[in-house]
Structure 1
C-alpha cells in the first residue's frame, strides 16, 4: 500500500469570467513528497496554488479537492496544516525580520514569545539579519523570510511560488536543504518554478500545465524515458575517434553545434538513452576516456517545451 495523499484533486475547474484558468485538473501529491508545478505564464499554476492555500475556491460542481485527507469546501480559508505563499510573501517592509514573524504569530492567535521565531530564522539562514528592517532585504532574503513565516505553523503541506527567486547559489543550496529535510520528516511540498534545475534537484514528481490543463504528471524518470531524442554534450580524451564511433553507431546523430566547435574536446550527439548508453560503452571499450556527458537541454526542459508547444498548437 502506497503512502497517503496530501493532495487529491479530480476534475477541478476555475474560471474568471470568460477566462478558463483551470480546465478539469487532476493532481495527486504524496505525503512527504516534493512535487513540482511547471508551465508557461498563464498556464494556471498560480490559480492552482491559490486553491491549495485557500485563497480561491474551485467552481461549483467542477470536481473534488481533498487536502490532507479533508474535503475542501467553498469557503475562502487556508486548510488546517497548510502554509505558504503565492506571488511572493506578504511582509511589512518597515519592520525587522523578527518583528514580521512576531506580528504574524500574533495575528494567528499565538504567543510571539513562544512561536519558535529564532528557530525558523535559523533554519532559513537569517539569524544574522533578524533585527534588520525588511525594506533593506534583497529579493532572495525576502523569499527566505517568507519561507520562515510559513514554517512558523509547522505545516504538513507547504505551498511555495518561485521559492528560489532571487537566491544566490549559497542561498539556493540553503533553501534546498530546508525543503529536503522537511520532506524527509513527512511534510509535503508543492512548488512552482521556472528554474528547471531547481525542479530536477528537488522534485520526485512534476506536473506540467499548459492552457489550464495537465499535459503530464508523474515521476521525473518517466518524463525522461518518454521524451524524444535529446542532444548531449560528450567530452572525451579523443574527440575525433569518438566522433567516428558516433557517426557509425545506430540511433546516433552527430550534431554540428556552435558551442561544441569552440571546445575541441566536445562533440554533440542526438540520441535516445539506449543508443547513447551503447555509444558510451563502445567509446570506453576503445580505450577513450569519457570526461563529461550531459544533456544540452535537460530532459525536463525539453519535455516542457515539447508538451506545452503541442498543447498550444492544439488550442
Structure 2
C-alpha cells in the first residue's frame, strides 16, 4: 500500500476574533516532497504552519497528519517537528547544551545533528553570540533530533550567507530523498524554485494555487526578459519581425540591453532568428522569474522592474 499523505487538509478555517486567518484551506503534502508555502504578509502562512505543529487548532475542517486525524489537543503528533517565527533557544547556553536539554526532554540522542547543519565547529559557543543564520541552523538541528517524518520550517534561509544556504538546502534535499516531507514557508522565490517540487500560495487566507511548481510557472505566460546581444540595432530589427515586443526602456537603462516581452514559444523563435542572422546572444534572463511572476499575478501584486 502507498504511504499516507504527510498532510491532508480539507476546508481548514481559523479565525482570531473577527479576523479570518484561514478560509477553507485545502492542500496535500506527500512523503518525500519539499512543499513550499508562499504568500504576502498577512496571507495566513504562519497560522497554517502553527496548525501543522499543533500550536493551534482549526475552527472548522479536517486536518490529517501522517495519516492520523488531528484532534483538539495542542500536542504535536509523533514524527512532526519544526519551528515558526524562528527557533526558541537558550542564549546563555552553548549550541551543544541547547540540544542536550531538548534531547533530554524528548528522550532522544543528540547524535550528529550539529555536523549535519554545519555547526560542529561552534558547538561549544554560547548562542547569544550567534548570528541570525547560525540560530536558524541550530533551530534546524533541534528539529532533526526527533528524526521527523514531517518537518515544518518558517523562513529557514533567513540570515544565511550563500554557503550556509547551500548547506541547508542540501540537508533538506537529503531528508526528502529519505522520505521526510518538508513544508517550508519563504518569501524568497529563488529558495522555493531551488528546493520545492510543489507549492501552495495563499492570499487573504485562501488558496490561490496549490500544485506542482512546473504547473505554476507554466510556459504560457508572457514575461519580460533582459536581452544583451553583440548588435543591439540588428537585434531590434529581428525582434520587430517576431511575435516578441520591445518594452520601452526606463531612464538610466543600459543602452546595450533590450527589454523584451514574449511568451516562451515566441522567445524560442527570437533566439533562433538572432542566431541565424549572426547576432550573438550574450545575456537572456527574465526580469522576474516565472514563479515570481505567477505569484505576483495570483496575489494581485505588481513587480518592481
Normalized against structure 2, the TM-score is what?
Answer: 0.94
Alignment partner for residue 228 of structure 2, among 232, 235, 246?
Answer: 235
Tell me which residue corresponds to 2:102. 104
1:217 aligns with 2:210: yes
- Displacement of 1:259: 7.8
TM-superposition CA deviations, 1:70-101 (whole Å, max 9, x none): 11111101111110000000000000000000
Any conservation in 1 of the 2:220–2:264 contact (CA below 8 Å)?
A: no
Partner residue of 2:285? 294
Partner Cα distance (1:2, 1:133) in 2: 45
Which residue number corresponds to residue 203 of structure 1? 196
Quote the Cα distance in structure 1 between the aligned partners of 2:157 and 2:252.
Answer: 30
For residues 247 and 231 of structure 1, the distance between their equivalents in structure 2, rounded to whole angstroms, comes to 16
Aligned pair count reads 301
- Matching residue of 2:253: 261
- Structure 2 gaps of 5+ residues are none
Q: Mapping of 1:6-155 within 5 angstroms?
A: 6-59=6-59, 62-110=60-108, 114-116=109-111, 119-155=112-148
Could you say which structure has the higher helix fraction? Answer: 1
Deviations 1:37-76 (A, max 9, x none): 00111100000000111111111xx221111111111110
Q: Root-mean-square deviation (CA), in Å?
A: 1.7
Q: CA offset at residue 142 of structure 1?
A: 0.2
Match of 1:190 among 183, 189, 210: 183
Q: Which consecutive residues of structure 1, in runs of 5 or more, have no partner in the other structure?
A: 311-315
How far does residue 2 in structure 1 lie from its aligned partner after superposition?
A: 7.7
Question: 2:295 pairs with 282, 304, 309, which one?
Answer: 304
Q: Secondary structure at the match of 1:309?
A: coil
Q: How does 1:159-174 map to 2 (within 5 A)?
A: 159-174=152-167
Q: Indicate if the aligned counterparts of 1:227 and 1:299 stay in contact, CA closer than 8 A.
A: no
Question: What secondary structure sits across from 1:36 in the alignment?
Answer: strand
The offset of 1:275, in angstroms, is 1.2
Please say if residues 245 and 283 of structure 1, whose CA atoms lie closer than 8 Å, have aligned partners that are also in contact: yes
Distance across 1 between alignment mates of 2:264 and 2:2: 29
- Partner SS for 2:6: strand
2:263 equivalent in structure 1: 272
